[in-house]
Amino acid sequence: MKPLVVDGANVAWVHGKSLFPSFEGIVIAINAALEQGYTVLLMLNNRYHVPWSSKIRVVDDWDGVYVIPSLSDGNSDDRVMIDYATNKRCK
């Protein structure tokens, strides 16, 4: 399967129309990627790991989904995700 990095925070805010972060948007994105044959690498910064910990555990148990531990403090999370995706040859 092809790896795909999903920027969970950006997906959540777009799905919530920039009014609130919507975890449902992340689930929709994950399902769409899985249907297209991707392995999903979900990345979130520290700000979302605590409030969404129970939801994150659920999707982390799905086949083909891997939640990457928070790699930044949120100030540079986009750069960290781009570097990670490049190094892992992700989409």
pLDDT in tens, the chain (91 residues): 789 999 998 999 999 999 999 999 999 999 999 999 999 999 887 778 778 888 888 898 999 998 877 765 556 677 878 888 888 888 6
Strand residues in the chain grouped as ranges (E)? 2-7, 38-43, 65-68
Is the whole-model pTM more than 0.75?
yes
Query: What pLDDT score does 68 carry?
Result: 78
- Interior angle at CA 77, CA 73 and CA 80, nearest 5: 115
Distance separating alpha carbons of residues 48 and 38, to the nearest angstrom? 23
Query: What pLDDT score does 27 carry?
Result: 95
| Residue 2 near residue 37 (C-beta atoms within 8 A) | yes
Residue whose tokens read 């910064």: 45
- Interior angle at CA 75, CA 69 and CA 80, nearest 5: 50
